[in-house]
Amino acid sequence: MVEFGRNIGFPVIEKQISIDQIARYAEASGDHNPLHLDPAFASNSQFGGVIAHGMLTLAFISEMLTRAFGTSWIETGKLKVRLKAPAYPGDKVSTWGKVTKDSVHDGTRTLVCSVGLRDSNGREMISGDATLVLPLNATG
């Protein structure tokens, strides 16, 4: 868990996207869109090849927030994000986050965080906001 305040050091989640990971996600989610699984089909798409499911990459941001805030994120968290660029097999991606608003009201603390995912070249793949509510007496 991290300390509260605007200077929170969010844990960085780093992953390398693989064909196997995409296939496992397709099986778990039931999303068998050929854009994610069929190289011949995907090569004729606007993306030029197989891409990871957006929800797979978004899960890395949720993993970061769970590591930072534990059950408070799981129980009260909300995400509003924009998927800006696809992740391809072989891409190395990492999460980032920072608190942009920290307010106290009626015995709870509400945090608004700017969050995102970038590839190893710094290309922004996902960006948006996460909001969660913490007990006022929480220590992280």
Q: Indicate which residue of 38, 54, 70, 119 is catalytic.
A: 54
CA distance 4 to 22: 35
129 is catalytic: no
Catalytic residue among 8, 51, 61, 126: 51
Q: Which amino acid is at 99?
A: V
How far is the C-alpha of 57 from the C-alpha of 50, rounded, in Å?
Answer: 14
Would you call 36 a catalytic residue per the annotation?
A: yes
Q: Which of 19, 31, 128, 129 is catalytic?
A: 31
Beta strands (DSSP E) in the chain are 14-16, 78-83, 92-105, 108-119, 124-135
Say whether 32 is catalytic: no
Out of 8, 17, 22, 36, which one is annotated catalytic? 36
54 included as an active-site residue = yes
Task: Give the total residue count for the chain.
Answer: 140
Q: Which residues are catalytic?
A: 31, 36, 51, 54
